Amino acid sequence: MSALLFDTNTLIELCRENDVAKLGVFGSMARGEANEQSDIDLMVEFSKRKSLLTLVSLERKMSAALGRKVDLLTEAAISPYLRDRIKRDLRIIYEAR
């Protein structure tokens, strides 16, 4: 497994501050095919139900903290046609205890 091109510790801290139960990376970053211009595709699971506004706010915080575009999705928002591929790529970064 290749190293990720972003600071996972920064994301872990944001997860702890925002009721995140689990966070994983997928797409080109997870497959080791990313470059410096690649965005970061993340799947989030919250410990409690959150609004779309909260999701977008966290996505913006993550983008600002990492200095690159983050696409933050919940499993429910993923197209059924892409779900299997995404789950194959998924690398868990954070899981609350």
Q: Which two tokens stand for residue 46?
A: 């919250």
The CA distance from 11 to 45, in Å, is 14
Q: CATH for 8-95?
A: 3.30.460.10
- To which residue do tokens 């696409």 refer? 71
Average pLDDT (51-65) is 95
Give the chain's mean pLDDT.
91
Helix (H) or strand (E) holding 41: strand 40-46
CB 57 within 8 A of CB 18: no
Residues 15-44: tens digit of each pLDDT: 999 999 999 999 999 998 988 888 999 999
Strands (E), the chain: 20-26, 40-46, 70-74, 91-95
| HSE (side-chain half, CA atoms, 13 Å) at 37 | 0
